[in-house]
């Protein structure tokens, strides 16, 4: 990223601007930027549209934002609602609100506290979710920790080193009262160390696999140790 001195871009109220290279970009009302944006700091505090791609070190959407292209960021936080029509690439992504990503999410660390919908794949080193998510392709990470709360999460396939799926304590109390039954649905889950709760899957493959309460699994293949606890249902288990 160019380290030369840059100007500031601020849209207060309603307005539009051309894209370019900036130090700080802030949309405090309803704004539209036509073209690609490169900046160190990016903020949407109202409603904003980027008619292009966004490259930033520190980005945050506090209101609602649409990015017609992709996002490259060291850190990007979505507290409101976001629609990204390309991919997000970078280091850290935190989703406290809701986001729809049309293509891929490729970052080092993902934290989902709200809701996320990813059109293709999600690749990370660390993936943590205490909200809800949908990944229409592969979720791949070294360390995957999913804490189910109120809603269903879905992913076509999961691949990782350490995979943990559990019910949040508050959701567990609600489940006992039959007011909520959060669940993760996946066709295939494959990893080294796998511990599952409230998971519905066709195939689970791993070295050491624990299938716990609320699980419904068609096939478990394991190399090391297999454990089944609680009311877990496994149609077939196979040591390979």
Query: What is the pLDDT averaged over residues 6-26?
Result: 95
Task: Identify the band that residue 169 occupies on the pLDDT scale cut at 50, 70 and 90.
Answer: low
One domain for residues 33 and 75: yes
Task: Identify the band that residue 74 occupies on the pLDDT scale cut at 50, 70 and 90.
Answer: very high
For residue 227, being part of any structural domain is answered with yes
One domain for residues 159 and 87: no
For residue 3, being part of any structural domain is answered with no
**Rounded to an integer, what distance in angstroms lies between the CA atom of residue 211 and that of residue 195?**
6
For residue 218, being part of any structural domain is answered with yes
Q: Which domain holds residue 82?
A: 10-103
One domain for residues 144 and 82: no
For residue 5, being part of any structural domain is answered with no
For residue 198, being part of any structural domain is answered with yes
Q: Total structural domains in the chain?
A: 2
pLDDT at 2 over 50: no
Residues 46, 52, 53, 55: what is their CA dihedral angle, to the nearest 10 degrees?
-70
C-alpha 14, offset from chain centre: 31
pLDDT value, residue 170: 58
Query: What is the pLDDT averaged over residues 184-206?
Result: 98
**Rounded to an integer, what distance in angstroms lies between the CA atom of residue 65 and that of residue 78?**
9
One domain for residues 96 and 171: no
Strand ranges, E, within 130-183: 132-148, 153-167
Query: What is the pLDDT averaged over residues 111-132?
Result: 98
Query: What is the pLDDT averaged over residues 175-183?
Result: 63
- Whole-angstrom CA distances from 106 to 7, 129, 144, 154 are 30, 16, 14, 18
CB-based contacts of 233, cutoff 8 Å, min separation 6: 215, 216, 217
pLDDT value, residue 71: 98
User: Which pLDDT tens digit goes with each residue over 207-222?
Assistant: 999 999 999 999 999 9
For residue 146, being part of any structural domain is answered with yes
For residue 180, being part of any structural domain is answered with yes
Average pLDDT in the chain: 94
Tokens of 38: 């490169």
pLDDT value, residue 180: 58
pLDDT value, residue 1: 44
pLDDT at 119 over 60: yes
Residues 233/218, Cβ–Cβ less than 8 Å? no
């Amino acid at each position: 990223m160019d380290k030369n001195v840059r100007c500031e871009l601020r849209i207060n109220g309603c307005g539009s601007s051309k894209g370019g290279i900036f130090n700080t970009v802030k949309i405090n009302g309803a704004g539209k930027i036509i073209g690609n944006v490169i900046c160190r700091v990016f903020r949407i505090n109202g409603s904003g549209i980027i008619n292009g791609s966004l490259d930033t070190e520190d980005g945050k959407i506090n209101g609602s934002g649409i990015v017609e292209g992709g996002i490259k960021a060291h850190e990007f936080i979505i507290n409101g609602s976001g629609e990204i029509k390309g991919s997000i690439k970078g280091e850290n992504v935190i989703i406290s609100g809701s986001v729809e990503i049309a293509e891929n999410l490729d970052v080092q660390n993902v934290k989902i506290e709200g809701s996320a919908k990813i059109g293709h794949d999600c690749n990370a080193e660390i993936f943590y979710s205490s909200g809800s998510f949908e990944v229409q392709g592969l979720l791949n990470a070294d360390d995957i920790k999913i804490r189910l709360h109120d809603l269903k999460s879905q992913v076509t396939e999961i691949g990782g080193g350490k995979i943990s799926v559990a019910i949040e304590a508050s959701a567990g109390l609600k489940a006992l009262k039959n007011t909520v039954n959060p669940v993760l649905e996946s066709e295939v889950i494959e990893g080294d160390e796998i511990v599952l709760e409230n998971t519905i899957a066709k195939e689970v493959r791993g070295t050491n696999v624990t299938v716990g309460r609320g699980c419904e699994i068609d096939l478990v293949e394991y190399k090391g140790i297999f454990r089944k606890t609680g009311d877990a249902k496994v149609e077939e288990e196979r040591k390979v």
